[in-house]
Amino acid sequence: METIRQEAAVHVEGTATVQREQFYYDNAIVRNFAFATAVWGVVGMLAGLWAALMLVFPTSVNLGEYFSFGRIRPLHTNAVIFAFVGNGIFMGYYYSIQRLLKTRMWSDKLSKIHFWGWQLIIVAAAITLPLGYTSGKEYAELEWPIDIAITVIWVVFGLNMFITILKRRERHLYVAIWFYIATFITVAVLHIVNSVELPVSFMKSYPVYAGVQDALVQWWYGHNAVAFFLTTPYLGLMYYFLPKAANRPVYSYKLSIIHFWALIFIYIWAGPHHLLYSALPNWAQSLGIVFSFTLIFPSWGGMINGLLTLRGAWDKVREDVVLKFLVVAVTAYGMATFEGPMMSLKNVNAISHFTDWTVAHVHVGGLGWNGMLTFGILYWLLPKIFRTELYSKKLANAHFWIATLGILFWAIPMYWAGIMQSLMWKQFTPSGQLKYSFLETVTYMKPFYALRGFGGALYVAGAILMVYNLVKTVRSGKLLANEAAEAPALVKEYKKHKGEHWHRWIERRPTPLLVFTLIVVLIGGAVEMIPTFMVQSNIPTIASVKPYTPLELQGRDIYVREGCYVCHSQMIRPFRSETERYGEYSKAGEFVYDHPFQWGSKRIGPDLAREGAGNNRKSDTWHFNHLDDPQSISTGSVMPSYAHLVRRSLDVGTTPVKIRAMQKLGVPYPEGYERQAVNDLTTQAKGIQANLKKDSINVPADREIIAVIAYLQRLGTDISRKDTTKNPIALNK
């Protein structure tokens, strides 16, 4: 690569001497991330379309063990969030940071390590998730070796970015840089705290948190992954690329300041709104509601700042396809950030939670905000660094309208379906009986799922059209890998001028900005989590709740491996409709041995919290047949077959190490129990085998399906007794 030259030139302007330096922007790294964004975007969207079609054609689209819905859905979310959006973030970062700071990235080597390391992480995710290696925590499914790799690569990226900021030629840090700094430090904190886990083997671990505590940490992470990976970096990109594309300054500097500080302070408190009406302490739920509702103000401040930047330029918006994408993106951001606070209100959340309404809400943000902004940036950026014109503005306009229609066909049916879903779940007959079985509500959803699939197909088709357009654009130009630039050297001494805004002080000091940002974002998490972990009364114990038997523990791990939590919840809310359908509402003390928690966030299938207890209890034979061939037991079910569990032998050799791991996490198995665990597992498995044999089902006792049946039959049985004392819990043998 061409050696970077830095030359000093002296110019005389009036009586002032200005020292200028020549340098080169690194466009090669921008190109790499741009290509990765486009490719992974199509891959991630195709995985999502595939998952959507599985709910319409569950038997014909499902391709077996490694490509079931429970494995493809996490693959889709990880691919879209971390591969498509992640590469899009870095593409925009590397382009804008260099120009905002008037310097090349500090280290080309670190830039390359960052790029290739991130792509290898994505490939690792694409391999391990279909194979069933998962932590079972939404948006954080990747297992511990990959978590460590993510940490290392994130530090590489942050180090390169921050040293570049320190070596800048531009004294003041533009608003986009504030958001970039906040993203780096907050994502690092979120990832590390949520990924504290105890390895059991090379690709298996248990989170150190359990039950209610794990749920709080997970949704503190999950909501703020949306906040600080899908929102704040894209707001930074909005503040750079929208004014650039419109050739206009940002509407309001003061509004930018309010938007930034209010957003990063309030966002971090909002995670508990994912756990309303759950076993989470009420005070934590209330905090989540208050701050979630308050989020509407800074969020809309940012949207208004973005849209009003275009004041006087609407004629240009009609003609410029890039601005069309950016305007729809900012509008979708406004819609999503209005709807989110509304959904955090308890009366609305009682309808929306566990339904397709939430899925629609998330995708308005994902498809509209992240997707359309990324498309607009790609169309604007690639022709510039390849020194050419966009191959076809007509194709880009076609992409815009196809993608916009795709979003509408995707979201509107899902809003309708979600509200209908919830109302059907809650409907009673005049005699006081539940009007609809859960399976009936699934059947009613299928036409809406089909429309969703059509919308998704349109959106993917638009993305493929974009890739074709960009490939032709790139081939018509030539990459300017090292773009020459010139800027004045940073003058070390600075004198504050009259009337200068007070916020300018911190804009000139990146290290204090980083520290203050860290403090601001830690406050909310600390206030919510410290009492939950330190105050025993927040998680009361129940004496009848016992640790899982070895067979049940193995069955639970298989349940997590198969991604059952993406379709089934294990959290009965205190509504009459739910207690009538499922049984007694869930208590915090039930989950003290759940590593990880399995409360879920969507009910494609019924809640399983009381599956093994009371009126919900089904025979071992029913569970066997249902897992082997769901449609033969539940006509109209969209559940895939788990026939491979009948064929696969249970790895009982892992039982002792799992028991020891649980003991380290505080689960009260007797000392030395790992030596007895396999014998107890075998005894319980033979009991289930005998029950199946009575119904002419001959299956060896060492099959995985036996362990899953044991786990399902255990669910909800611990609190059938009225013992709610706080005595130490002994092992249930």
From the annotation, which residues make up the binding site for heme b?
76, 361, 363
DSSP secondary structure letters along 531-566 = HHHH-GGGS---TT--PPPHHHHHHHHHHHHTTGGG
Task: Count CB-CB contacts under 10 A for residue 477.
Answer: 16
Distance CA 630, CA 642 (A): 8
Distance CA 261, CA 240 (A): 18
Secondary structure of residue 528 in the 3-state scheme: helix
Distance CA 502, CA 258 (A): 13
Distance CA 686, CA 683 (A): 5
Distance CA 521, CA 513 (A): 12
Task: Of 54, 17, 16, give the one whose Cα is nearest residue 630.
Answer: 54
Secondary structure letter of residue 227 according to DSSP: H
Would you give the distance in Å from CA 593 to the centre of its chain?
Answer: 25
408 Cβ neighbours under 8 A, 6+ residues apart: 455
161 Cβ neighbours under 8 A, 6+ residues apart: 93, 97, 105, 180, 184
Task: Of 186, 177, 195, give the one whose Cα is nearest residue 140.
Answer: 195
CA distance between the termini of the chain: 68
Distance CA 438, CA 421 (A): 10
722 Cβ neighbours under 8 A, 6+ residues apart: none
429 Cβ neighbours under 8 A, 6+ residues apart: 435
Task: Of 678, 634, 636, give the one whose Cα is nearest residue 656.
Answer: 678
Secondary structure of residue 20 in the 3-state scheme: strand
> CA–CA distance from 494 to each of 99, 275, 497, 504, 540 (Å)?
21, 50, 9, 12, 58
* Binding-site sequence positions for Cu cation: 223, 273-274
Q: Strands 7-13, 16-26: parallel, antiparallel or unpaired by DSSP?
A: antiparallel
Q: Which residues pair with 484 in a beta bridge?
A: 24
* Binding-site sequence positions: 76, 223, 273-274, 361, 363
| Stated length of the chain | 733
Secondary structure letter of residue 369 according to DSSP: I
Distance CA 283, CA 289 (A): 10
- Determine if the peptide bond prior to 413 is cis (ω within 30°): no
Distance CA 643, CA 312 (A): 62
Distance CA 650, CA 704 (A): 5
Secondary structure letter of residue 490 according to DSSP: P
